[in-house]
Amino acid sequence: MMPSIFKHLGLIDYSNIPTDYVYIGTLPNALSSPNREIVSDIFIGKGLFIVRKEGRLANGKRNSITQFEMPLDALSWVLESIETMFERKPSLGGLAKDIQHTDKAFDGENIELRYGVSVAGEGIGGYTVTNFSRDCHILPGEAAQTFSFALTIWQDHARAIFKDIIKRQLAGEFA
């Protein structure tokens, strides 16, 4: 694995969120269950799209805390790629059936968008966005940062949230 070229931000501390960060909302997670809720909170800060994810057990304990960061400009590319490449048939300009990913660099950060058939559990398809230029908070130096969401989450929540963020970005709200 290539070493990270960007230092990741520190994990967002809910009791001390930087004043220049904008809280967007929570994205549901298909892997949540009655015994474990997985919370994915979305923030915009320092020109980045940030997802802070943590597992919360029924007994109140927190575990699996991590964070995904990518340049905010990459979010438009993620949205457009899903809508024009993954959701369209190859005959209409979509990806060939044997291609399950696309990638692009933003501000020197290498971002990949990939479709998988078991992103949110066995047989539950969805998308994973990977930033190969930033180390995972749980395994620094060994893994890249990733952010995944099931197709149902994409259709019911993420698409609308992403479009709203992009609209607000274009309006200059996050400058």
User: What string of DSSP letters covers 55-108?
Assistant: EEETTS-EEEEEEEEEETHHHHHHHHHIIIIISS-GGGT---TT--EEEEEETT
pLDDT per residue rounded down to tens, the chain (175 residues): 444 556 667 889 888 999 999 999 999 888 777 777 888 999 999 999 999 998 888 777 777 788 999 999 999 999 999 999 999 999 999 999 889 999 999 999 999 999 999 887 788 899 999 999 998 877 777 789 999 999 999 999 999 999 999 999 999 999 8
- Does residue 102 lie in a domain region? yes
- Does residue 78 lie in a domain region? yes
Q: How many domains does the chain have?
A: 1
Q: Which domain holds residue 153?
A: 22-170
Checking 37-44 for CB contacts under 8 A at 24+ apart, the result is 38/64, 40/147, 40/149, 41/12, 42/161, 42/165, 43/12, 43/17, 44/72, 44/165, 44/169, 44/174
- Does residue 1 lie in a domain region? no
